[in-house]
Amino acid sequence: MDTFKIYYPVRPCNITQGFGENIEYYKQIGLQKGHNGLDIEAYHGQPVHATHDGIAYLSVDSKEGVGYVLVSDKLFPYNGSECAFKTIYWHLCSLSDPKFAPVVQSGTKVKAGDLLGYADSTGFSTGDHLH
């Protein structure tokens, strides 16, 4: 059985905030206990690529944040069972930005390395990056 392989979504891949960090800050703004992902340094408009094969689902939140949820298109072994893996790419450029609009239609099958969209700053972020 294959093993799940994951690649960097941007290069270089410099993590600026890790999962679970800054608990006190996130408590103050009424969110979860700590940061709920990895923040990766990226400049405005930097290409963001799929980190694995799967189906990409475009998503927009209530604050006009744009991103993709990428679900593996097959099952992989994990803790004695099989499961699909999911990665999320957030803070992408707006749907209304023709130069940097998301590239992949929702529900499209993609391969690792395929272009998804371009980095931006949305929601509570303080600058362009990938979450």
51-104 pLDDT, tens digit per residue, is: 999 999 999 877 777 899 999 999 999 999 999 999 989 889 887 788 888 889
CB atoms within 10 A of CB 9: 24
Say whether pLDDT at 130 is over 90: no
d(CA 98, CA 87): 25
The pTM of the full predicted model, rounded to 2 decimals, is 0.85
Average pLDDT over residues 13-23: 71
d(CA 13, CA 124): 21
